[in-house]
Amino acid sequence: MSLFKFHGGVHPPEHKLKSTAAPIRSVTMPLRLVLPLRQHVGNVAKLMVAVGDHVLKGQLLAAPDGMISAAVHAPTSGTIAAIEERLIPHASGLPDLCITLNADGEDRWGDHQPLDYQAQEKSAVLDALRLAGVVGLGGATFPSHVKLRADDAHPVLTLIINGAECEPYITCDDLLMRERALEIVRGIEIMQYLLGAKHAIIGIEDNKPEAAAAMRLACSQNSISITVATVPTLYPGGGAKQLIKVLTGLEVPSGKLPTTIGVQCFNVATAYTVHRFIDHGEPVISRVVTVTGRVAQPGNYEVPLGMEIFDLVQAAGGTADDSNGLVMGGPMMGFNLPSGHVPVVKGTNCIIASAPALFAPQPPAMPCIRCARCAEVCPVNLQPQELYWFARADNFEKARSYDLFDCIECGCCSYVCPSRIPLVQYYRYAKSEILASDKARQAANVARERNELRLARIAREKEERAAKHAERAVGARAEAGGDAKQAAIAAAMARAEAQKAEIVPQNVTDLSPLVATEIKAIDARRGKVDDRD
Amino acid sequence: MNQAPYISASPSVTSIMLRVLLALVPGIAAYVWVYGSGVLVSLALASITALGSEAILLHFRQRPLMPFLMDGSALLTAWLLALALPPLAPWWLVVVGTLFAIVIAKQLYGGLGYNPFNPAMVGYAVLLISFPAIMTQWPVPLALAHAQLGFLDQLHFIFTQALPGGVTLDAISSATPLDYLKTQLKLQHSVGDILHAPVFGALGGRGFEVVAGAYLLGGLYLLQQRIISWHIPTAFLLTLAVLAAGSHLADPAQHAGAAFHLFSGASMLCAFFIATDPVSGPTTPRGKLLFATGVALLTWLIRSYGGYPDGVAFAVLLMNICVPLIDAATQPRVFGHE
Amino acid sequence: MMTALLVMIGLALLLGIVLGYSALKFKVEGDPLVDKIDAILPQTQCGQCGFPGCKPYATAIAHGEADINQCPPGGEPGMRALADLLGVEPKPLNAECGTPKPKSVAVIVENLCIGCTLCIQACPVDAILGAAKQMHTVIASECTGCELCLPPCPVDCISMVPIPEKVDNWKWRYPVIEIKSLAV
């Protein structure tokens, strides 16, 4: 098949061989697991358990809250020990609400069954997937059930499976494709069915020939036709939009979803978890994590979610003496972990034990000399040197008008900057300031509206009170002047008389003789009363 | 602690500047071969003045000294200016020009990365306007000179303007080829006749063409090292060649041909070393093409119709003014945008 | 002489037409300045500026009756935005109006609340819920942090709590990598 190119890109040293020597290894189930309620993009999951509850493996601990949200499950059987704020693997280094689960050592599965997805309505399958906690495992952690819901307005023609894994050091998808190709293909088959997509293409960078071969073999054993495409190794070719461009030649319009051009993109590991859930009934409770860098046994480990990263690194033989920290993700887009004592989450694709020898300390930044190397490598074709200038000067509106929000934060610009300016940090800063000020602006608009409504209400109440006062004043004057009062009373009586005259008695026809006499008697009594007036 | 990306693969600013300096070495060697080693004195004078004034200004502006002195940018400005000046220019001319370039055009605008104008060209333009006579007095290439000046004689001349006994100023200096052409055209001579004069060589000015060739060599090295992109040199040389060739075809008596324009004056120096200054130039690919086309057009116009024999400095400065406009007008299409 | 005169007259006519046309074409209806100023103000409705709310302050600025530096919740950026809009020089915030504080919300200590409804009447955005002799509570998402409910409370049961930094409102910091001198 013919391939296309995207602008820019860089070729950082790959460092992948270190962690591909050994097959995926398993780890012993830790005694304690910590499961953050926020492991995905969207709303925080809703708690479904309480402290002290005993749960089984695969049991729902927190349910998705709304459409864009994902569930959290128990990776093993045990007791809920705590529900509290704990440090999570997040760039902010801030704590968030987590469930602490003490394993009972039995690792006993709860009730779980395969789903006959073809016998059910697609929406029912998707609802089931929503409760399975399936999210994009490439790192974006967007809930997959949302992306799998076929939209009539934008039918998906092409399903793209992302096996590019362009970041240096990371090999978890590579190993998964080598070892579990059949399962991945099965997952793709299910996804293709759900989306009603005509084609499925797996994009794999040409530095992973083993994985591509394994996927080709698995596809040839499957009845449906899936194309395995090897794409040139070029960072960030594994970005969803970049991979779509390379494979289809189409660009996802800015600010739109890939479905607007008839494409949907998932990571290979996501396809694998879809298979695990549909064919085995297992929700997402573990993932493959690359542990590499300055550790004794770099490699890929199948890790239960919630395992402390420090324990995982110990399982990989521990860090070398010169290691000075842990990075989650790759060297281009990863972040420093606030501590080793944070759990593995759904988005943990790679842990790198960093060291000065591995990642040299960043030298002080020099002024920008406008050499435009950053613009040459920008995969989105932005002008990073201009964005840097605007972000640095807090000129946010200008930054936005130069399409700051199209930046994918891939780090290519910083990677090639001769002045060693932390460009991506400036863009992240500008983006979060803009988003915060947008939010503040919205809140201000709400406050303005509420204030105006309140002022209007006060004005109205004042008016009503004034009207009441005026009426009472009229009444008081009437008391003072007898004629006026008499006239008012007479008018009221006249009104009452008129009303009475209007009332037509009902049920006066077809009366039984008994009732008729009764009515006559009553009327007679009334007449006497009226006469007395 | 570092932040992503944790890895970097780029030459530092210093290394870029040093490689540009290295690319100037063939040009300097050719210079020495053609005009004698006096130019080395100018280079040394300019370098010392540049580093000294930069250090003083950095001190006053309370900026760290070493990273900026070591970045090589002041040295590059000094070298470019020294190479643009007449090789036997008096010492004070070199010093004044360099001071102007570093103090006014660079540091007072904020130092490295903040100068809107090419500092070397600002220095050059100031000198050209202030001292036009000295600025157009070029030594005769050694091969043509009636009297040979040794290094010590040249050194002595630079500092005292005194010549050894028996040698007259006219014996060792003459107008530049571009200047000569301009004067002779005013005297109603045709280009064909004028180019037979001894100051002209096979391509451009005799001697000048060798130096220009050496600059071209250095420029190709910069391209190969990806220090500069192809846009500016290509657009500049192509535009200049097309304009010169076109006008030459239209009126051979009044206009010199493409080869003469490309290998005379500061054309090659401009194409690879001056117009490619990133700080004062545009950043977008189309902007670079536009900028270089403009520089070439202005250069040719000033050479052909203006009051100065060479127009590179003014052309570059005039186009520097347009850079923000050019950049704003040539923003490339962003991924996913119409 | 004649041509020059004609040229000048022609130019005058042409420019006159252009100016007249643009005056019609780009005519601005009403006085949008108050709304523009109001859009910049943070809508805290706190009255620290000396006016009974953001809109009155905006009106006063537009009429030249108030300065642009009287809004502590808007802080330095708000003042700069106003200076930008009005084309005047930025000036430091007027300390008499108060100093910027981290954004906070009012919290009612519910077991102390006697249900007097005074705070409800004071709240400019109706962000306090409750009825007479019933415990009151603040709708945190609607509270602007204006502090107007504090003085009327007879039992001092309302306190201002700064909004803590959480994972969902956390912001990336301005990168600070100083150019350090290497050898000096």
Q: What angle do CA B305, B132, B299 make, to 5 degrees?
A: 35
Identify the pLDDT of residue A137: 92
Residues A171/A300, Cβ–Cβ less than 8 Å: yes
Burial state string for A97-130 with b = 16 or more CB within 10 A and e = fewer than 16: bbbbbebbeeeeeeeeeebebeeeebeebbebbb
CA distance A244 to chain B (A): 12
B337 touches chain A (CB under 8 A): yes
Burial of C111 (0-12, 13-18, 19+ CB in 10 A): exposed
Specify whether domain C101-165 bears CATH 3.30.70.20: yes
| Domain chopping of chain C, boundaries | 33-97, 101-165
Identify the pLDDT of residue C181: 41
Average pLDDT over chain B, rounded to an integer: 89
List the single residue in C with minimal CA-CA distance to A433. Answer: C171
pLDDT at B325 over 90: yes
d(CA B322, CA C130): 65
**Helical axes A268-280 vs A122-130, angle rounded to 10°:** 110
Burial of A81 (0-12, 13-18, 19+ CB in 10 A): middle
pLDDT at B1 over 70: no
Helix, strand, coil percent content, chain B, rounded in steps of 5:
65, 0, 35
Closest CA to B113 of A391, A385, C183: A385
Identify the pLDDT of residue C182: 40
**Would the CB atoms of A415 and B7 count as touching at under 8 Å?**
yes
User: Tokens 């071209």 correspond to what residue?
Assistant: B216
d(CA A25, CA A315): 10
d(CA A529, CA A524): 9
B63 touches chain C (CB under 8 A): yes
- The more confident residue out of A499 and B17 is B17
DSSP assignment letter at A122 = H
**What percent of chain B has a predicted confidence (pLDDT) above 90?**
58
For domain C33-97, the CATH architecture is Orthogonal Bundle (1.10)
Residue A100 vs residues A307, B203, C166: alpha-carbon distances, Å = 10, 82, 20
Q: What is the mean pLDDT of each run of 10 residues along chain A (533 residues)?
A: 92 93 94 94 93 95 93 95 94 93 93 90 91 90 91 90 95 96 95 92 95 94 86 94 95 93 95 95 95 94 96 93 92 93 95 92 89 94 95 92 94 94 94 93 92 92 92 74 70 80 67 77 73 54
CA distance C91 to chain B (A): 25
**Would the CB atoms of B336 and A386 count as touching at under 8 Å?**
no
Closest Cβ opposite residue C175 in set A429, A431, A452:
A429
Burial of A406 (0-12, 13-18, 19+ CB in 10 A): middle
Residue C40 vs residues A453, C44, C99: alpha-carbon distances, Å = 20, 11, 18
Considering the domain A113-282 in this protein, what is its CATH number?
3.40.50.11540
Chain A residues whose CB is inside 8 A of the B337 CB are 253-254, 403, 406
Identify the pLDDT of residue A221: 86
User: Tokens 């415990």 correspond to what residue?
Assistant: C135
β-partners of residue A54 are A79
Residues A293/A19, Cβ–Cβ less than 8 Å: no
B65 touches chain C (CB under 8 A): yes
Closest CA to C100 of C162, C57, C40: C162
Q: What angle do CA C73, C78, C80 make, to 5 degrees?
A: 145
pLDDT at B2 over 90: no
Would you state the structure tokens that stand for residue C151, as one six-digit string? 């003085």
Among C174, C176, C180, C181, pick the best mutation site for testing chain B contact (most B Cβ within 10 A).
Answer: C181
Q: Which of these ranges, A516-530, B304-318, C106-120, C148-162, has the smallest mean pLDDT? A: A516-530
Q: What angle do CA C52, C57, C61 make, to 5 degrees?
A: 155
Residues B208/B177, Cβ–Cβ less than 8 Å: yes
Sequence-separated (6 or more) residues with CB below 8 Å from residue B14 = B70, B71, B72
**Would the CB atoms of A444 and C180 count as touching at under 8 Å?**
no
Residues B21/B50, Cβ–Cβ less than 8 Å: no
Neighbours of A374 (CB within 10 A): 29
Identify the pLDDT of residue A508: 65
d(CA B56, CA B103): 9
Provide the greatest CA pair distance for chain B. Answer: 74
Among B1, B8, B77, pick the best mutation site for testing chain A contact (most A Cβ within 10 A).
Answer: B8
**Would the CB atoms of C175 and A38 count as touching at under 8 Å?**
no
pLDDT at B27 over 50: yes
Taking only the tens place, the pLDDT of each residue in C57-70 is: 999 998 888 899 99
Q: What is the count of residue pairs from A and B with beta carbons less than 8 Å apart?
A: 145
Identify the pLDDT of residue A506: 65
In C136-175, the residues whose Cβ lies within 8 Å of chain B are 175
Identify the pLDDT of residue A468: 92
List the single residue in C with minimal CA-CA distance to B2. Answer: C177
CATH 3.40.50.11540 range(s) for chain A read: 113-282
Identify the pLDDT of residue B181: 82
d(CA A495, CA A517): 31
Q: How confident is the model at residue C184 (pLDDT cuts 50, 70, 90)?
A: very low
Chain A residues whose CB is inside 8 A of the B331 CB are 383, 402
**Would the CB atoms of A454 and C178 count as touching at under 8 Å?**
no
d(CA B225, CA A494): 108
Q: How confident is the model at residue B35 (pLDDT cuts 50, 70, 90)?
A: confident
Identify the pLDDT of residue A509: 67
Taking only the tens place, the pLDDT of each residue in B219-278 is: 999 999 999 999 999 999 999 999 999 999 998 888 888 888 998 888 999 999 999 999
Instruction: Report the half-sphere exposure of B227 (CA within 13 A, side-chain side).
Output: 23
Provide the greatest CA pair distance for chain C. Answer: 94
Q: How confident is the model at residue C30 (pLDDT cuts 50, 70, 90)?
A: low
Residue A124 vs residues A149, A382, A450, B1: alpha-carbon distances, Å = 11, 42, 41, 48
Identify the pLDDT of residue A479: 61
Identify the pLDDT of residue B150: 78
